[in-house]
A and B are shown apart, each in its own frame.
Chain A
Amino acid sequence: MKPEDNNTVNEQNLDADLNSIGQAYKRAPGDEPPDLLDQAVLNKARLAAEVRRSGWHFGGFRWISAFATASIVVVSLALVMEQVARPPMSDGLPAQPSSRTESYEIDVISADDANELIEAEEVIVGADREAQEFRAKQDQPADQNIELRAVVEAPARSRVEGAAAPAAAPPPMPATLQKRSDERQQQDEFADQSAIVTEQKAMLEKSDADADTQEGARDVMDTAAEPVAESDLGAITVSGHAIAKPPPPDVWIKQIIHWKHMQLNEKFEREFARFRKVYPDYELPDELANIVREDQ
């Protein structure tokens, strides 16, 4: 008998023995795992399956976030390398966009400042100057009055014109410096105006004195009477703004008497009535009292 055949016989005998043992083994009641153990195993299996399903999503998100991060890094590096590799455009020359922006800002600020300055000038200087102007106009001829008004209003106009063309201002200046220089300029101009007004006033007082003493001066006063009456004694107007400030009574009376002498009876009556409204208890001088008495 060959060894292979011997092996085959041995295996057959082994199988037969194992079958008989197996039959005896399986006749016995088989042990089973407890239910709790089954539940524990099945729960663990279900949990693992769910974690795997959600794990796909987490894995996907992780992949996406990693890819996004890598992309950002690559793009950033590329930009940096491009900036480093690019030669300088124009060394020593000011950058065009920044200078453009600077001039634009200066323009805007200077225009605003000009408007503010004009308004401030009209408000602050207006009352003081117009009071002086009023007094000057009251006593001076019409030509001089017009001159004075022109002088007083000239700086404002010139500043408005200067502000209207800020682009023509040659050196671009920082906004604060521009403002300060404008203020200084304004103060200088005001000082000049004060000097001019003072000088005009002195001249007017002198001419007024001459008019009192000389009869020929009445002609001059007559020409000046019409504008003075409307602007000074009623509603004083300065640059279109009404100032409700009545003149001193002696000045007003003097003017009223003057109108009477000029045979301007309507104006005389109207202004006298207004005078009485403003100064009801003021004691009239003899000259005016006589005129009123004669009219009545």
Chain B
Amino acid sequence: MRDVSDEQLMQLYAAGNAAAFETLYQRHRGPVYRYLTRQTVDAATANDLYQGVWEKIIVARHRYRPDAKFTTWMYRIAHNHLMDHFRKQKPTVPEGQIHNLESGDAETGEVIDREQQHVQLMKAITTLPDDQRDALLLKLEGGLSLEEIGTVTGVNRETVKSRLRYASNKLKLILEQ
């Protein structure tokens, strides 16, 4: 099962092979979980969203067609699930968080080591607008291309590129500080 592609594993699972799903799940459990936790306020919500995403994948296994890349199909389900959640309950990171992050950096003026840099990066990601953060996480966690991100989010390639550019510029500022 190790050498079998995601697409084949999904087909096997759709045919009733539960072991194929376990392999598939082990490959993608971390990235999907982080994709969701980075965009939600609390861990409980992230857990609910995570379980919901996999349930949707299980239910939609018969609709999967191998001509589509599995990760694209899977992240589209996750993205839609997340968007549904945002529509129901707008999660929002408080505006002051970005401000606090920036002001904190300015106030202390300390040298940011790698761990601090990572913490700042995580905080900065949470302060990104939803569409930019979503595109960035699809790139970083899912490893999707611009076209695939466009397919998942339902926008064209240039829009994806623009969102990523804005996101990277903001994060670069933080990392260079």
Contact = CB atoms under 8 A, between A and B. Distances in A.
B18 interface: yes
A26 B164 CA distance: 17
B84 interface: no
B34 A31 contact: yes
Contacts of A40: 51
A237 to B, nearest CB: 94
B33 A31 contact: yes
Contacts of A116: none
B168 interface: yes
Interface residues of A, number: 31
Contact of A38 (B29, B61, B117): B29
Nearest to A52: B16
B34 A17 contact: no
A125 B3 CA distance: 108
A22 interface: yes
Interface in B90-121: 114-115, 117-118, 121
Contact of A21 (B47, B50, B171): B171
A45 B22 contact: yes
B131 interface: no
Nearest to A11: B161
B83 interface: no
Nearest to A45: B21
Contacts of A42: 21-22, 25
B122 A14 contact: no
A27 interface: yes
A31 to B, nearest CB: 5
B21 A32 contact: no
Nearest to B31: A30
A33 B16 contact: no
Interface of B is mostly: helix
A14 B50 contact: no
B175 A32 contact: no
A53 B16 contact: yes
Contacts of A33: 29-30, 33, 47, 50
B16 A24 contact: no
A24 B118 contact: yes
A270 to B, nearest CB: 108
B30 A32 contact: yes
Interface string B15-28: 01110011001000
B118 A45 contact: no
Contact of B18 (A14, A17, A49): A49
Contacts of B70: none
B155 interface: no
B1 interface: no
B34 A30 contact: yes
A21 B121 contact: yes
B139 interface: yes
Contact of B21 (A25, A30, A49): A49
Interface in A14-62: 14, 17-18, 20-22, 24-28, 30-34, 37-38, 40-42, 44-46, 48-50, 52-53
A50 B15 CA distance: 10
A17 B17 contact: no
B140 A45 contact: no
Given A14-B161, A49-B13, A49-B16, A31 B25 contact: no
Contacts of A49: 13, 16-18, 21
A30 B30 contact: yes
B50 A37 contact: yes
Given A32-B29, A41-B51, A49-B18, A24 B168 contact: no
Interface of A: 10-11, 14, 17-18, 20-22, 24-28, 30-34, 37-38, 40-42, 44-46, 48-50, 52-53
Interface of B: 13, 16-18, 21-22, 25, 29-30, 33-34, 37, 47, 50-51, 54-55, 58-59, 61, 114-115, 117-118, 121-122, 136, 139-140, 146, 161, 164-165, 168-169, 171-172, 175
5 contacts: A22-B139, A28-B115, A28-B118, A32-B30, A33-B33
